Structure 1
């Protein structure tokens, strides 16, 4: 049996599970809500995350994006369109295909600037999007550069809905959520956070309070690049011990 036929059989088995069908619907709704809200903000012309200072790395990016005119609106239209398409059963795959490059960009951006607001949610949204693409593998496979069997033996079988709860699958889902929660909290020792006060809190109780204050000042008051501020922080000495 070829790998492609095995994938067809595995996909068909998953599609016949009632719990996985509910999970697919949950993913569609959750992703749609995430993009609809953010997209509408762009369409009406408001700046996304308006409470974030323009001197913050993410705030600076969002401010510049807000000043790109109809490009900013265009992104919002795509986000809302992707959200609506995800909610319509016949257009889910198209919505997922539009959604993926946008959320992948947000994911990379979040980690590049260490944005605390989406370090946890953006990777989960990418994985959720990938799940939907895999869920519709039976349609997506025809645009992939692989030669498929002329007769799909797996799809020829009659559909039987199973109510068996996929324990291992959902255990993997929970483990994935916990893993990225841990990653978001522990991946970076130093983060700019969303405000000057929150930034300074991460250095309380350490021997790097002076260097930390300078780092936060570099980000939130001087608006310098993250890499530059990190370089200055790493080169700064530890606090002098009290005598």
Structure 2
């Protein structure tokens, strides 16, 4: 019953903490830096990766590039979200616009096992969620909670608490470690960016023949990832 009032107290304490304010600025800057450069590349309608078309993410990026103004439109959205995050008054708008884009990128990275954003995109999703929680005072009215609303924090408090929030930053560090460990160990085999990188996995593979066949199917034959994985599992299951 006291969950929301307790959260409200923690929230207000966090907003008054100097270190939490620093962390919020860091998240805003980091997220903006993650979107503005690639967004500009899309606006200029340029390719921002040298992945060949047979690679699973290369398949997607090549198709996206050839969509024309849709490719450019995504670039404008990314740059807009990044710029909005840089301005304190519009940061909440930036966080709201940013979230569906980065969530889509995260799911895409996981689905095609793209190591280029396999770690960064989940962390960016978490950082974006943190910002949405930070602006809870303005978002609270969309939730069906019957409780006394938190006053909107229009300005940063003049007196900030200098106490370092050890538990929060300890939890943040543990979250980063957990995410990095999980996404780097959740897949038995990866397509990697090149066939030479892909074949490096085969040295430690329990079935090098299946691994070699997988890499060849992806990078030389251009086989879709799910079919290459089915083939890998079939070869792996056969007696050596």
TM-score with structure 2 setting the length: 0.92
Aligned-pair CA distance for 1:209: 1.7
Q: Which residue of 1 aligns with 2:36?
A: 36
Partner Cα distance (2:136, 2:108) in 1: 28
How many equivalent pairs are there?
A: 236
CA pair 197-146 structure 1, distance change in 2 beyond 3 A: same
For the pair 1:19 / 2:39, whether they are aligned, the reply is no
Q: Which residue of 2 aligns with 1:97?
A: 96
Kept in 2, the 8 Å contact 1:12–1:154? The answer is: no
Counterparts in 2 of 1:209-220, with a 5 A limit?
Answer: 209-220=208-219
Partner Cα distance (1:167, 1:149) in 2: 29
In structure 2, runs of 5+ residues without a counterpart are none
For the pair 1:187 / 2:182, whether they are aligned, the reply is no
Aligned-pair CA distance for 1:143: 2.6
Cα distance per residue 1:58-112 (max 9 Å; x no partner): 1100110111111111110000000000000000000000000000001111111
Partner Cα distance (1:129, 1:217) in 2: 38
Secondary structure in structure 2 of the residue aligned to 1:203: helix
Partner Cα distance (1:153, 1:140) in 2: 11
Kept in 2, the 8 Å contact 1:207–1:238? The answer is: no
Kept in 1, the 8 Å contact 2:137–2:152? The answer is: no
Q: Which residue of 2 aligns with 1:124?
A: 123
CA pair 153-192 structure 1, distance change in 2 beyond 3 A: closer
Q: State the superposition RMSD in angstroms.
A: 2.1
CA pair 153-68 structure 1, distance change in 2 beyond 3 A: closer
Kept in 1, the 8 Å contact 2:138–2:152? The answer is: no
Aligned-pair CA distance for 1:149: 2.6
Q: Which residue of 2 aligns with 1:67?
A: 66
Counterparts in 2 of 1:153-164, with a 5 A limit?
Answer: 160-164=159-163
Higher helix share: 2
Partner Cα distance (1:30, 1:224) in 2: 36
Kept in 2, the 8 Å contact 1:210–1:239? The answer is: no
Aligned-pair CA distance for 1:2: 5.2
Q: Which residue of 2 aligns with 1:83?
A: 82
Report runs of 4+ in structure 1 exceeding 3 Å deviation: 1-6, 145-148, 152-155, 237-241
Secondary structure in structure 2 of the residue aligned to 1:230: helix
Kept in 1, the 8 Å contact 2:113–2:190? The answer is: yes
Secondary structure in structure 2 of the residue aligned to 1:222: coil
CA pair 171-201 structure 1, distance change in 2 beyond 3 A: same
Aligned-pair CA distance for 1:3: 4.1
